[in-house]
Amino acid sequence: MSIFSKKQTGDIGEDYAVKYLNKHGYKIIERNYRKKIGEIDIIAKRHDYLVFVEVKTRHCNPLTQPYEAVNLGKQRKIIKTAALYIAEHKLQTYMRFDVCEVYVDAGTLKLNKINYIKNAFERSDYDSYY
């Protein structure tokens, strides 16, 4: 059992994800972009892509994989929120939806490992933005 709250664990996981992204050539544009429909943890730029990153932080050896929490409903919210971001900033760009799994020690929140999943999901043709 962890002595840290879910929010503390999630916040530190996002910090680790930002460090990982910076190390791998991403430029962080925004964190915790919130709209009524949903939130995007990290918006980053790499090459010609605007990358929307969902971060899932778990303690080591979870019963399920963190990416499994990014179900179809969550994906749709992220996609719609991303569309709002693009419209708000009047962007024309390639985009990608990634998931960053961050594994931390339950007692200390020290990083154990990161599993980064590029193109974890995509906007399908049957989904509309709005």
More confident residue, 2 or 36: 36
- List the domain boundaries for the chain: 6-121
What confidence tens digit (pLDDT) does each residue in 65-103 have?
Answer: 888 889 999 999 999 999 999 999 999 999 999 999 999
> What's the chain's average pLDDT?
91
Q: What is the pLDDT of residue 124?
A: 65
Q: What is the CATH number of domain 6-121?
A: 3.40.1350.10
How would you label 71-80 residue by residue, b for 16+ Cβ within 10 Å and e otherwise? eeeebbbbbb
